Structure 1
C-alpha cells in the first residue's frame, strides 16, 4: 500500500539518534511518497512545530533519555497533541511504554519494513490498525 499519488504529501517526523536507522527509515518513507524530516533529537519542541508533521516516529532511547517523556510532552502541546506518534524501540516492554505515554502505536526493532510502512500509512490516513 503506497501513499495516494494524487494527494498532498504527508509529512513524517523521524526522531532517532542512530543515524543509520534514521537514514533507512527516511529513504523508505520518501520512496513511499512521504515528505520526511529526520533529526537525532529536538533541542526544543518549538523547532518541530513549523514542520507540521502528520505523524512522528520516535525512538525510545534518545541519547540516554527516554523517548516516552518526549511523547508525553508532544501529546500536551496544542498543535501537536493530535499528531499520531509511533514509538520505536528494542525494549521488551515497548507495548507498555507506548501505552503509558499515549503513543498511537509502537514498532519493535529490528522492524519489518512492510509492517512499518503499513502502520505509518494507516495512521496518517486515520485508518484502523491491522493487528
Structure 2
C-alpha cells in the first residue's frame, strides 16, 4: 500500500522540521517547503493533505489556499491552515480550507486532523 503524502508549507524551519519528522515517524511521506515556487510542486508531489502556514514569505497562505481550491485538479486536496492569528477560523472559512490549527499546537491534535482528512477523502478515479 502506498504511503499517504503530506505537503508542509511552513515559514518557520523549526516547525517544518518537527512536523516533518513526526509525520514520517507515523508512516507518512512528506515534502516540506517554506513556500512553493509554483503550483507544479503540488501537482508533482500529489499530496493527500496540505498543511499550510498562514504567514508564508511573499504572500498570505490563505491566498495560496484559495488558488488551490479554484483549480479543478487540486481542489479535492484537503488544506489545513496553521496560524497564530486570532481569527484563524474566519480565515480558514474564507479561503475554503478544510480545517485549521492554531499555533502553538499539540502534535497529537495535528496528527488527528491529518488522519481524519485523509480518511474522509473521496476515492480518485
TM exceeding 0.5: yes
1:48-105 per-residue CA deviation (whole Å, 9 max, x = no partner) reads 2110100000000001521000000011112211100000000000000000000000
Deviation at 1:47, TM superposition (A): 2.3
RMSD over aligned CA atoms reads: 1.1
Matched residues, number: 121
**CA distance in 1 between partners of 2:14 and 2:40 (Å):** 25
**CA distance in 1 between partners of 2:97 and 2:31 (Å):** 19
TM-score by length of 2: 0.93
TM-score by length of 1: 0.89
**CA distance in 2 between partners of 1:8 and 1:122 (Å):** 17
The equivalent of 2:39 in structure 1 is 45
**CA distance in 1 between partners of 2:73 and 2:30 (Å):** 18
The equivalent of 2:115 in structure 1 is 121
Structure in which a larger fraction of residues adopt helix: 2
Q: Is it true that 1:88 corresponds to 2:86 in the alignment? A: no
Q: Give the 5 Å matches for 1:1-131.
A: 7-63=1-57, 65-126=59-120
After TM superposition, the runs of 4+ consecutive aligned structure 1 residues lying more than 6 A away are none
**CA distance in 2 between partners of 1:109 and 1:102 (Å):** 19
Unaligned runs of 5+ in 2: none
